[in-house]
């Protein structure tokens, strides 16, 4: 029987549950897979969806489940998109609405996985939310059929539509034949009065596609916000496809010739998270990077001196809601990836499977640690080098592989002792500054990266910061110059090429010793946070702060770690932004599998 929820139009029946793995055939009907529900419900600020022109700073309950009808390379939410339903963790729509009301949320929003994979579930949620006076919306690839969209458009108040590109080729890369349904649906939603914002991933080389998308959106309405996400290679895609923040900023300037409001995400320190007047270009709203997919207000003005106003729907909250620890969907996925990273080093790997679904062992461990109390505990453990060892032992215990956990802990502990001895013997402590993406975006004082600096005998000037934020806060050039760090480290996650970094230092008037002596260091990818490779990052930092004292060949040390815990040599590994493992450059069988509609 054909499923008509999305334009993939899978045949459902027998053993087939469709591409998204979420539907079954029951007689003459297609139904949601039995037991399907939401894996989590966490209050977030609406900017984390992300939506920037809708109830600014409003508190919404974010929900997510499993499954997706697309197969996008480098998907940051692959662990959810490719997972099967987890009945044991399922929350039903009535429970979600009750939670939203209890926590004084304005509404509910489905994110992280594709709502087309849970359409009947989401439809039920939207109806129940409306009955209680709540707003309802989602982030989606918007590949719905016309008949589905006609119904859905009557139920939702807002959507973030993720556009993959303008050409059919860009959609073929995600396993579907055409881009036409997306632009058709976007136009229909706008005409129906649904608040829509769009997002698109920018990878190096697809600049023409980006321009064509902006032109197509402008034809519907130039007031529809366009959010640009820099492509980050989480999976098997090469690092060369990741544009620098500077390259993305230049592209955004070109896109503004077509649409009125263009925003640049996952780029700490950029000024392009702000809103500028579409008539005269004056800055009206200043925002700073809050997390991978979020932002927060610094300064707000909706009306320009020239008389032009920003089209924002809904009231602005008096106080911006801020989540703690891993308590929102994006950071829950980050916590999942951290668990995944340790399990990979313990030789429990999803790439050994021939099946498309995630490893049952991984999901079993996730069930054991995904309650709120344990997630808060994990957040604390993963910020300190020594307590991270407790995190490894926790995961190894839940996975029933304590001996393998002990081997990993032993490797890390022996290197910790080496670093601590060097720090104790070398009296020449250097001041260091840790930033992410921009010299003006400082990582928070309590984060793991700054604790690595302290453990290696450095003096982290970030510890002077009182401001809180995730994962950091904007600082002034004066802060850096006054504390005068002798070394600057750029985060390995959202980084910036050294040539761009030095250019920004000149632009901002940063003249600390680290800049003058060219002692700014880009930490190797995934070596300082989120996975056990931070021990290599610690050795890297120690070598820079204590030149000639480490007595370890870092390449040989990396080879040792990679062979023991990834089964490959360091020089054979392709760097990526994934927490769980570097890429071998060979796609696992389950990642290459073609799912037939």
What's the sign of the alpha-carbon dihedral 49, 310, 105, 137? negative
How far apart CA 330 and CA 572 sit, in angstroms, is 31
Q: Kind and range of the H or E element at 478?
A: helix 477-483
pLDDT at 214: 98
How far apart CA 77 and CA 306 sit, in angstroms, is 42
Preceding omega of 50 cis (within 30 degrees of 0)? yes
Q: Kind and range of the H or E element at 419?
A: helix 402-425
In angstroms, how far is CA 502 from the centroid of its own chain?
26
* 444-471: b (≥16 Cβ within 10 Å) or e: bbebbbbbbbbbbbbbbbbeebeeebbb
How far apart CA 528 and CA 451 sit, in angstroms, is 10
9 contacts 69 by C-beta, under 8 angstroms: no
pLDDT at 270: 92
274 contacts 286 by C-beta, under 8 angstroms: yes
Q: Phi, psi at residue 309, to the nearest 5°?
A: -120, 150
Fold for the domain defined by 329-572: Rossmann fold (3.40.50)
Grouping H, G, I as helix, E, B as strand and the rest as coil, residue 128 is: helix
582 contacts 575 by C-beta, under 8 angstroms: yes
pLDDT at 587: 44
CATH code of domain 23-299: 3.20.20.70
pLDDT at 88: 52
pLDDT at 310: 94
How far apart CA 128 and CA 130 sit, in angstroms, is 5
Numbered ranges of CATH 3.20.20.70 in the chain: 23-299
What's the sign of the alpha-carbon dihedral 443, 449, 455, 458? negative
Numbered ranges of CATH 3.40.50.1980 in the chain: 329-572
Grouping H, G, I as helix, E, B as strand and the rest as coil, residue 492 is: coil
Helices (H), 192-298: 207-220, 245-255
pLDDT at 234: 76
pLDDT at 319: 72
Burial of 516 (0-12, 13-18, 19+ CB in 10 A): exposed
How many Cα atoms sit within 13 Å of 194 on the Cβ side?
27
Residue the block writes with tokens 């925003």: 263
Number of residues that this document lists for the chain: 597
Read off the pTM. Answer: 0.90
Q: Nearest-5° angle of CA 237, CA 243, CA 248?
A: 145
How far apart CA 85 and CA 112 sit, in angstroms, is 14
Which residues touch 224 (CB under 8 Å, ≥6 apart)? Answer: 186, 190, 196, 197, 198, 217, 259, 261
140 contacts 115 by C-beta, under 8 angstroms: yes
Residue 3, token pair as written in the block: 């499923």
203 contacts 241 by C-beta, under 8 angstroms: yes
Q: In the chain, what is the straight-line distance between the N-terminal and C-terminal CA atoms, in Å? A: 11
Residue 424, token pair as written in the block: 């104790």
How many Cα atoms sit within 13 Å of 277 on the Cβ side?
15
Residue 582, token pair as written in the block: 């570097």
Beta strands 23-26 and 29-32 are antiparallel
Residue 439, token pair as written in the block: 């010299």
DSSP state of 230: E
Q: Kind and range of the H or E element at 199?
A: strand 195-202
Beta strands 275-276 and 158-163 are unpaired
459 contacts 429 by C-beta, under 8 angstroms: yes
Residues of the chain with pLDDT under 70: 74-89, 235, 292, 322-332, 349-360, 469, 584-597
* 410, 522, 528, 563 from 532: Cα distances, Å: 12, 18, 9, 14
């Amino acid at each position: 029987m054909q499923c008509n929820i999305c334009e993939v139009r899978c045949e459902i029946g027998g053993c087939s549950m469709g591409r998204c793995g979420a539907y079954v055939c029951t007689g003459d009907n297609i139904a949601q897979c039995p037991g399907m529900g939401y894996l989590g419900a966490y209050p977030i600020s609406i900017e984390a969806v992300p939506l920037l022109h809708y109830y600014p700073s409003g508190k919404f309950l974010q929900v997510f489940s499993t499954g997706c009808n697309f197969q996008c390379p480098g998907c940051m939410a692959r662990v959810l998109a490719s997972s099967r339903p987890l009945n044991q963790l399922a929350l039903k729509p009535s429970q979600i609405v009750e939670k939203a009301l209890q926590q004084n949320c304005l509404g509910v929003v489905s994110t992280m996985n594709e709502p087309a994979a849970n359409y009947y579930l989401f439809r039920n949620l939207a109806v129940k939310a409306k009955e209680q006076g709540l707003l309802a919306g989602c982030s989606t690839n918007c590949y719905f059929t016309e008949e589905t969209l006609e119904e859905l458009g009557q139920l939702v108040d807002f959507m973030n539509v993720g556009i993959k590109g303008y050409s059919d080729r860009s959609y073929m890369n995600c396993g579907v034949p055409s881009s036409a349904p997306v632009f058709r649906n976007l136009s229909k939603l706008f005409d129906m009065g649904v608040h829509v914002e769009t997002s698109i991933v920018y990878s190096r080389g697809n600049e023409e596609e980006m321009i064509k998308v902006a032109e197509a959106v402008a034809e519907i309405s130039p007031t529809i916000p366009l959010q640009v996400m820099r492509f980050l290679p989480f999976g098997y895609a090469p690092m060369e496809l990741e544009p620098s923040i500077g390259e993305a900023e230049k592209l955004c300037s070109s896109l503004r010739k077509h649409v009125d409001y263009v925003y640049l995400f996952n780029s700490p320190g950029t000024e392009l998270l702000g809103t500028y007047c579409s008539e005269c270009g004056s800055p009206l709203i200043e925002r700073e990077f809050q997390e991978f997919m979020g932002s927060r207000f610094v300064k707000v003005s909706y009306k320009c001196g020239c008389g032009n106003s920003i089209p924002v729907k809904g009231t602005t909250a008096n106080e911006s809601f801020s989540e703690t620890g891993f308590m929102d969907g994006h950071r829950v996925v980050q916590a999942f990836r951290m668990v995944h990273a340790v399990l990979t080093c313990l030789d429990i790997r999803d790439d050994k499977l021939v099946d498309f679904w995630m490893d049952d062992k991984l999901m079993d461990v996730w069930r054991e640690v995904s309650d709120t109390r344990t997630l808060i505990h994990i957040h604390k453990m993963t910020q300190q080098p020594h307590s991270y060892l407790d995190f490894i032992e926790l995961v190894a215990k839940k996975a029933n592989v304590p001996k393998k956990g002990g081997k990993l802990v032993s490797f890390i502990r022996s290197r910790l002792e080496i670093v601590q001895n060097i720090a104790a013997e070398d009296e020449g402590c250097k001041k260091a500054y840790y930033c992410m993406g921009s010299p003006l975006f400082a990582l928070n004082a309590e984060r793991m990266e700054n604790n690595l600096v302290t453990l290696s005998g450095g003096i982290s000037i970030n510890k002077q910061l009182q401001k809180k934020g995730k994962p950091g806060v904007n600082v002034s050039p004066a802060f850096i110059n006054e504390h005068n760090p002798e070394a600057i480290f750029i985060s390995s996650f959202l980084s910036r090429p050294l040539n761009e970094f030095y250019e920004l230092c000149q632009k901002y008037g940063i003249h600390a010793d680290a800049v003058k002596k060219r002692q700014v260091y880009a930490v190797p990818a995934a070596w300082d946070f989120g996975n056990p490779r931070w021990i290599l990052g610690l050795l890297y930092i120690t070598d820079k702060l204590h030149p000639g004292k480490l007595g370890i060949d870092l390449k040989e040390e990396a080879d040792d770690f990679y062979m023991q815990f990834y089964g490959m040599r360091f020089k054979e590994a392709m760097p990526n932004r994934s927490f769980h493992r570097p890429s071998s450059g060979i796609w696992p069988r389950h990642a290459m599998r073609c799912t037939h509609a």
